[in-house]
Structure 1
Amino acid sequence: MGCCTQKCQQISTFTIAAILLGVGISMAILWNNIFINIRNKQLSVAHDTQGFKMWKETPIPMYMEFYLFNWTNANEFMNNKWPTKPNFQECGPYTYSEHHIREQLTFNENDTITYKTRKIWKFLPEKSKGKLDDKITTINTILASVADTVKDKNIIVQEGINFFIKEKSEPFILTRTAEEFLFKGYDDPFIELAHKLHIKGLDIPFDKFGWFYDRNNSVDYDGVLNMYSGVEDINKLGRMHSWNYKSQLDYYPGECGRVRGTSGELWYPPLDNEVLEVFSPDICGTVKIRKNGTILHYGIKGNKYVAAPEIFDYTEPQNQCYLPKGVHLDNGVRSVQKCKFNAPAYVSFPHFYSADPSYYAGITGMKPDPAEHHFYLALEPITGLPLKVHAALQVNILLQNVKGIDVLKNVKSTYFPMLWFKQTAELTEELSSLGKLLLIMPSAGTYTAYGMIAFGALLLTIGFYLMFKKGWKTIHDEEQLLNQQQTFN
């Protein structure tokens, strides 16, 4: 029932105006903190948060493209002649879908989560330019690794390895299918020999060789990871605390061996940070990415971070600890030998993009393309939401002359490109809509607060105007006025 008296109308008007003004002013002052608290809670990886659900099982479609290098003039070496320049033909992509599931979770008291990641790959022929039964010719990685291990040992050890190569007819040049080189793997007598003889410095933990052998559907391959949940401090969200229970790794000395950065899939709000870091178990270390422009993805603006050539630049003091002891490296590659069972493995950008020309001066077939062969990540700065991922790296094997091993007597020191891979992911349109909803909350709350203040102030002004102008009308006043009009008529 409405107010009948002037006093009731005045109290109602001024009460509503006061409530609107009070709530509006409070929202204007507090809304930003309210939003930040809501955002931080939902982004953090705690039970039942949106961040936990998206991290536990990655909802964004991911793809891995593999490109294998086929050695086209290997026949010259078979005829006991080292080719003037080994020539390589890129084959692929062999494209797989990639899905990540976090398992064996433990929430720790120091605001960290210990977990393992199960990675599942499935071949997608419709997105591939090659077939898994394509024949690829390249060097024998296991033989090259054994030779590298014994290159500085005495001649008796080298001759023993040389005898085994001849006895087992171990080929220096291999032709296998793309599937065998990637996930299926193939048998190699040297693996069995390494297991039996326990060759010092060569630790091969698998029974077949393939670049991704024994990784598909494995929960153990990437090891035990420990990261901050962001519950207590959102600026630590996703940052790695340790890997395999170590925060300082043995693969590199000093700062280069420290576990730092995120896994690349979960991010704290980076705002306008100029440099970010990504930790990768595949290289047992960190890659720095630097802000370089912006992108627009489904209406969301993000900062683009690029892995600059400086990460492989040894003129930079902070990169000196990545250099193997007593070894000179030109800019453009990083040794991962200790990380990869002491195989002479080196990572670079694909096709030696941005590397020193010395790496591809002695080979042909490299076609570095800045648009295709760089490494970048795009993040929404307020939420840390990954918009696009384009992570590309190449694996190379250093082949060297070993006088005591016949098949390596005539080789020239060469960084053999073996394969490169590109991981891509994009935020879907559906998830982008959720992201945009989160991003408009600060403005929506602020505009709502200002609207309430404005409406409350207007109502208050009208109330005072009516009070001083005696414009309030009661029901009794309106009835009298109506009767007068009827009498007049």
Structure 2
Amino acid sequence: MPETNTTKRKTFYMIIILLVIGITLTVAALISHFYLPIALEKAIIDEFMLNPESSSYPGWQKSNIPIYSHYYFFNITNAQDLFKPGVKPVLEEVGPYVFQLSFEKVNISWNFDNGTVEYRQVKTWIPVPSKSNGSLDDEIVHINVPLMTGIHQIRSIPEEDKFLAYESLNSLIDAFNMSFILKHKIRHLLFEGYEDDLLTTASSFYPGEVSQTKFGWLFEKNNTSSEGLFRVYTGQLDSGRKVGLIDTWNNEKENIKWKTGKKCRSFEQTTTGDLQPPFFMRENYHLLQYFGQENLLKPMPNIRMFIADICRSFDLDYLETIEYDRLRRYRYQMGPMTFNYTLEENRCYCNKSCPPNGLFDLGVCAQDSPGLRPNLQKHLFTMEFDDKFGIALKIDVKFQLNILAKKYDEIEIMADWPDNFELYLPQFWFTTNAELDESTTYQLYFLSEILPLILLLATILITLLAIICFIFMAFYIMNTRMMSWTLNDIPRYENHL
């Protein structure tokens, strides 16, 4: 009899232990399935928000991946005959001249009350001779951009002042023996600049409007914060749903470079391109849920981006979904309608008059330089984003800059040009490329693919262990006929002292 009581006591304790373990594992399985993914997702979102302590801050504050720009220039080989009837320009493409780019945000000011951060961005170009085809001391023949720009600017002044302006410009052209064709080194055409008589004269008469005496396409832009003052949302007050979106540019809520048009002026849902709200937050999508969501997270039809160098925003349109390096990517591209002025929404980009379709007038942004015309193959902007986080994985930017050479009857030096002469001359084109490093790509792969699988397997394993515990508990109950026990069957301890 004592042996039977001892056996029952052990069985009873084993059942209690299995019951406690089973309940504990059941609770753990519920936590693993319902609570833990939400908690981890919140922790991940917190790291994507902008603050000095988040893991995304160092890469946002200063670019930590290699970014290269390749510049190709056009050398005019028939310059002496260029402005004769029936002559087409013969251009020799030279380059690439390769630079490594660095972006660093400075003068950072946090406003935690309204969830924004203010900054300027310093952009630096560092020559990479080993990747270049040629030297920055290479010389090319090119059109006189300051002179052509000066002539072009006269069209914007009041009609009654144009005669005097043309006469003054003709006098300057004669006095300095100016020519429409010049020859300079690549280094001067890019960053160092070359002294220009027209700019020097203009700066002495109009110091408030013309501050430079040198011309270079990127003169005084290297290692400077020439893009302006930005204020963007940190995501702290909206759980990351507005992180990276522009609040103001140069203290303005709208892009005042453009006089009319909501599309031209608005910064709504617009980013600077380096950070944006995670894609999975835009829909009812749980990042760490493994099953049943593949078709829920659809690519956005477009992403709106602002480029300060051209003073305008534009849409990147969804192109395709690809899989590369273990990640599913959404590829976006600058659409063919970007420079289509038959669309009413694009007409606000017309400066006085609309340029031909396919051309963007840089006048409001580049001291009235006449024309930026895209080439479909050499003027392209594509970006690849991780399908869940919306992080840019690959950037491929191509832009070509052309200058409008047009005859004006009032300019004496153009007297021998063919009537109605109008030609867009390519000056240079460049491509900028960057791709996320393998280590960061793997982190995204782990967070978006591996971690949900780990949570799923953990939930399954814990659930199986809980089921096994309950099965063993049922086994013990059945073998000891637990249903026939009474309270008197439970052994009691007696004091024999």
Q: What TM-score range do you get, normalising by the shorter chain?
A: 0.7 to 0.9
TM-score, structure 1 as length reference: 0.86
State which of 166, 172, 176 in structure 1 corresponds to 2:180.
172
State which of 392, 397, 412 in structure 2 corresponds to 1:391.
397
Contact 2:200/2:212, CA 8 A, preserved across alignment: no
SS at match of 1:206: coil
Q: Map Cα deviations across residues 14-50 of structure 1 (whole Å, 9 max, x no partner).
A: 1111111111112212233223212210111112111
Determine the C-alpha separation between the residues in 2 that align with 1:157 and 1:427. Answer: 52
Higher mean Cα deviation, 296-305 or 377-386? 296-305
Matched, 1:215 2:221: yes
Matched, 1:91 2:117: no
Higher mean Cα deviation, 158-167 or 125-134? 125-134
The equivalent residue for 1:423 is 432
Q: Map Cα deviations across residues 141-171 of structure 1 (whole Å, 9 max, x no partner).
A: 1101111122465333212111111111222
Determine the C-alpha separation between the residues in 2 that align with 1:313 and 1:444. Answer: 49
User: Which structure 2 residues correspond to residues 32-181 of structure 1 after superposition, within 5 A?
Assistant: 32-77=37-82, 81=84, 84-108=87-111, 109-151=113-155, 153-181=161-189
SS at match of 1:241: strand
SS at match of 1:415: strand
State which of 307, 330, 348 in structure 2 corresponds to 1:303.
330
Contact 1:194/1:204, CA 8 A, preserved across alignment: yes
Residue 194 of structure 1 deviates from its aligned partner by 1.3
Task: Give RMSD over aligned pairs.
Answer: 2.1
The equivalent residue for 2:192 is 184
Determine the C-alpha separation between the residues in 2 that align with 1:118 and 1:59. Answer: 14
State which of 385, 410, 417 in structure 2 corresponds to 1:379.
385
User: Which structure 2 residues correspond to residues 275-294 of structure 1 after superposition, within 5 A?
Assistant: 275-294=302-321
Residue 83 of structure 1 deviates from its aligned partner by 5.7
Q: Map Cα deviations across residues 165-200 of structure 1 (whole Å, 9 max, x no partner).
A: 11112221111111111111111011111112229x
Matched, 1:465 2:475: yes
Contact 2:200/2:214, CA 8 A, preserved across alignment: no
SS at match of 1:64: strand
Matched, 1:438 2:447: yes
Contact 1:76/1:83, CA 8 A, preserved across alignment: no
Kindly provide the amino acid, as one letter, of the partner of residue 65 in structure 2.
Answer: I
Kindly provide the amino acid, as one letter, of the partner of residue 347 in structure 1.
Answer: L
SS at match of 2:360: strand
Distance 1:148 1:293, change over 3 A: same
Determine the C-alpha separation between the residues in 2 that align with 1:32 and 1:120. Answer: 41
Contact 1:31/1:446, CA 8 A, preserved across alignment: no
Higher mean Cα deviation, 80-89 or 39-48? 80-89
State which of 439, 443, 456 in structure 1 corresponds to 2:466.
456
Contact 2:351/2:364, CA 8 A, preserved across alignment: no
Contact 2:203/2:212, CA 8 A, preserved across alignment: no
Kindly provide the amino acid, as one letter, of the partner of residue 127 in structure 1.
Answer: K
Distance 1:149 1:291, change over 3 A: same
SS at match of 1:49: coil
State which of 344, 355, 379 in structure 2 corresponds to 1:329.
355
Determine the C-alpha separation between the residues in 1 that align with 2:140 and 2:470. Answer: 82
Higher mean Cα deviation, 444-453 or 102-111? 444-453
Q: Map Cα deviations across residues 92-120 of structure 1 (whole Å, 9 max, x no partner).
A: 21110011111111112221110011112
Determine the C-alpha separation between the residues in 2 that align with 1:56 and 1:316. Answer: 38
Contact 2:139/2:185, CA 8 A, preserved across alignment: yes
SS at match of 2:105: strand
Kindly provide the amino acid, as one letter, of the partner of residue 35 in structure 2.
Answer: L
SS at match of 1:86: coil
Residue 425 of structure 1 deviates from its aligned partner by 0.3
Matched, 1:12 2:12: no
Determine the C-alpha separation between the residues in 2 that align with 1:83 and 1:70. Answer: 20
Residue 82 of structure 1 deviates from its aligned partner by 5.2
Residue 377 of structure 1 deviates from its aligned partner by 0.3
Number of aligned positions between the proteins: 443
SS at match of 1:222: coil
Q: Percent identity?
A: 25
Matched, 1:31 2:39: no
Q: Map Cα deviations across residues 428-483 of structure 1 (whole Å, 9 max, x no partner).
A: 111112221221323322331232122212211221222222399xxxxxxxxxxx
TM-score, structure 2 as length reference: 0.85
SS at match of 2:313: strand
The equivalent residue for 1:249 is 255
Which consecutive unaligned segments of at least 5 residues does structure 1 have? 354-368, 473-489
Residue 291 of structure 1 deviates from its aligned partner by 0.8
SS at match of 1:265: coil
Kindly provide the amino acid, as one letter, of the partner of residue 275 in structure 2.
Answer: L
Distance 1:434 1:119, change over 3 A: same
TM superposition outliers: structure 1 runs of 4+ over 4 Å: none
Kindly provide the amino acid, as one letter, of the partner of residue 237 in structure 2.
Answer: E
User: Which structure 2 residues correspond to residues 232-247 of structure 1 after superposition, within 5 A?
Assistant: 232-233=237-238, 234-247=240-253
